[in-house]
Chain A
Amino acid sequence: MRDTVDRNVLDPSAVEAVREQERDWEANEVAQFLAKQAERKESFLTLGDFPVKRTYTAADLADTPIDDIGLPGRYPFTRGPYPTMYRSRNWTMRQIAGFGTGEDTNKRFKFLIAQGQTGISTDFDMPTLMGYDSDHPMSEGEVGREGVAIDTLADMEALFEDIDLEKISVSMTINPSAWILLAMYIVLAQQRGYDLNKLSGTIQADILKEYMAQKEYVFPIDPSVRIVRDCITYCAKNMKRYNPINISGYHISEAGSSPLQEAAFALANLIVYVEEVLKTGMQVDEFAPRLAFFFVGQADFFEEIAKFRALRRCYAKIMRERFGAKNPESMRLRFHCQTAAASLTKPQYMVNVMRTTLQALAAVLGGCQSLHTNGYDEAFAIPTEDAMRLALRTQQVIAEESNVTQTTDPLGGSYYVESLTTQYEKRIFDILEDVDARGGTIKLIKEGWFQQQIADFAYETALRKQSGEKALIGVNIMVDDTPDPKIETHAYDQTTADRQIARTQRVRRERDPAKFEELMAQLLEVAKDDSQNIMPITIELVRAGATMGDIIESLKTLWGTYRETPVY
């Protein structure tokens, strides 16, 4: 595959010649121009604080081996996970949707599919995300509000009614309770006679980034990581095309981190999951091909592209060098991208369409496998049908009209992008080394180390917006007192909770109580024994009418719950 490790784009004498040219240019053209007009700023930085040079030349690639740039579909996959990329198939257009009951969200799914969406992505309400049934006191006011409410298998049946799950891939954005949803999905598939090995999709199930950033957790860290491990090993054996995890930088970024921290912390979490699965005796090449990722598309266009490219290169090296993977499938990083919700503004909200377009274009030029573009109304509420249609059309314009998909990695070889990619790679590995030296990811989560760094960058960002150093149209520049056109926002259906709770209570009434009790007792036995896999018993439980809350509340008696010590 590669014969030498140190062949660079230019030989040393050419590098020196280019540097000489640069010095001459600085002394002449640049100096003369600066004498007439100073630059806009003393120094230029990326959104993530990387210094940006006046221009980049071939000399900036002097320390990038040509094999690190390489070719698409070949180790280290800097230029893309597959050799032909969008020339074969566009990315999956996967708009997330979820509100109300299963029936309500099912209608939105069908609408999006009719509009040309090619994958499904499910947003759950806060009670489902946190493992509470809809009739739990903590769920009051939250049922079906910011996502769809799922308590039982019956809800799952409604959610996917008349949608062929062998034909379309389904992503479920859920974490501490992910394995229960996966169990429901499996039972639904079995009831419909599907082949589990034909199902494609993902659960997010990246619990470590919850403690770092998104803060959706139930149990303490150790049993939570064990559940993730169980999902990975179960899927490796039973669902060959299903991604049991989406290792996510997105929420780390949205919680305020820099793009570098997003990338490095997500890979720190990856390392923990791989180590946990290896401890079961499974070989890395048996499960690594189905590990998938999820990153944000932030506002700094070239930096984001460099971030995605560096992530692929780092992942390939980690999997091969640290974990001894042999199969190239274990080394190609595949990722979903969502544009940055926290970059959207309420004032002049239609400007959000332009922000989202640029972020989406960076995701595509960065080689994403699937993409969600945000609605213009997300600084108000969850998106309307109209906002989602326009967001989907944004992707379709990029895919069908712009021709950026005709060649793979069109920015490969850009002096700037390649240089930033290599800088990102180095800094990511520096952080990973630091994490190892400090005792590893889990220890540092418990100490609030990641959380503090994320909080620091979030605070810096708030100050930079305040000072105007970070420009935001409509907020700190181009502020316009003309009122925005009236916006129609998503209205919450007040009947949701009653409809949802009625179904959950019916399922509880109609199940066989003896069978249910017997399985619940078995659940605790399995949970106590760390060497067992929790998936099979969970599948039997949801089939027998157990609610998500039944399972979670029972395990809380054994494992307890997690409460963080907040840092700010």
Chain B
Amino acid sequence: MAQPIRVLVAKVGLDGHDRGARVVARTLRDAGMDVIYSGLHRTPEEVVNAAVQEDVDVLGVSLLSGVQMTVFPKIFKLLDEKGVKDMIVVAGGVMPDEDAAALKQMGVHEVMLQDTPPAAIVATLTRLVNERGER
């Protein structure tokens, strides 16, 4: 049997809006994935360290505080410094379309905004992990 997909759902910065992150964590858990939820108020360093230590397939970062253009460059820089090449990074939350487009340019695999149906999130992560293939 294939290993379950491992996901870290993370909240970064001072943002306390965790409704979406917790719904996503539960959705992925109910879909049979191994889910770790970081809890609130983490730094990019803490999140990247946890993602590497836990050897997750997917790092999902939820942001509703508008700091996506500060946080994601830091996350990619830290992943790069650690030589991590195959981590799937996805974003969720509330942000303008221009920022969502810019994040995808930067290397975020998918941006899933509010009202994305839970089943679509499961399907997206499954597809991204299949596309990546075995590690």
Contacts and interface: CB of A to CB of B under 8 A. Distances in A.
Interface in B14-38: 14-19, 22-23, 25-27, 29, 37
A463 interface: yes
Given A142-B14, A256-B19, A462-B118, A381 B40 contact: no
Nearest to A129: B14
A147 to B, nearest CB: 10
A141 B40 contact: no
A345 interface: yes
Contacts of B114: 342, 345-346, 379
A142 B65 contact: yes
Most chain A CB atoms below 10 A, which of B66, B69, B97, B119: B66
A126 B115 contact: no
Contacts of A140: 70
B67 interface: yes
Q: How large is the interface on B (under 10, 10 to 19, 20 to 34, 35 or more residues)?
A: 20 to 34
Interface string A367-401: 00000000000011110000000000000000000
Interface of B is mostly: loop
A342 B13 contact: no
Contacts of B37: 566, 568
A489 B96 contact: yes
A462 B22 contact: no
Interface in B52-69: 65-67, 69
A466 B119 contact: yes
B107 interface: no
Contacts of B119: 466
A510 B114 CA distance: 46
Contact of B19 (A139, A255, A346): A255
B40 A215 contact: yes
Q: How large is the interface on A (under 10, 10 to 19, 20 to 34, 35 or more residues)?
A: 35 or more
A459 interface: yes
B96 A466 contact: no
B128 interface: no
A187 B62 CA distance: 39
A142 B67 CA distance: 6
A188 interface: no
Nearest to B22: A568
Contacts of A492: 66
Nearest to A127: B14
A146 B68 CA distance: 12
Contacts of A567: 22
Contacts of B65: 126, 142, 145-146
A333 interface: no
B66 A462 contact: no
Given A141-B71, A564-B40, A466 B18 contact: no
A132 interface: yes
A475 B25 CA distance: 22
Contacts of B67: 141-142, 145
A560 to B, nearest CB: 15
B113 interface: yes
B19 A254 contact: yes
A472 interface: yes
B94 interface: yes
B71 to A, nearest CB: 7
A563 B115 contact: no
Given A126-B15, A380-B94, A455 B40 contact: no
Contacts of A463: 118
A345 B113 CA distance: 10
A458 B94 CA distance: 17
A556 interface: no
A381 B96 contact: yes
Nearest to A140: B70
Contacts of B15: 126
Given A146-B65, A254-B19, A255-B19, A455 B14 contact: no
A141 B23 contact: no
Given A215-B40, A466-B118, A466-B119, A141 B19 contact: no
Contact of B39 (A255, A345, A459, A563): A563
Interface string A340-374: 00100110000000000000000000000000000
A380 B96 contact: yes
B4 interface: no
B113 A346 contact: yes
Given A455-B23, A568-B23, 9 more contacts: A138-B13, A139-B14, A141-B67, A141-B70, A142-B67, A215-B16, A345-B114, A459-B23, A472-B115
For the complex of A and B, 9 pairs with smallest distance between CB atoms:
A141-B70, A215-B16, A568-B22, A126-B14, A466-B117, A141-B67, A566-B39, A256-B19, A568-B25
16 contacts: A130-B14, A140-B70, A142-B14, A215-B16, A254-B19, A345-B114, A345-B115, A381-B96, A382-B66, A455-B26, A462-B117, A466-B118, A564-B39, A566-B39, A567-B22, A568-B25
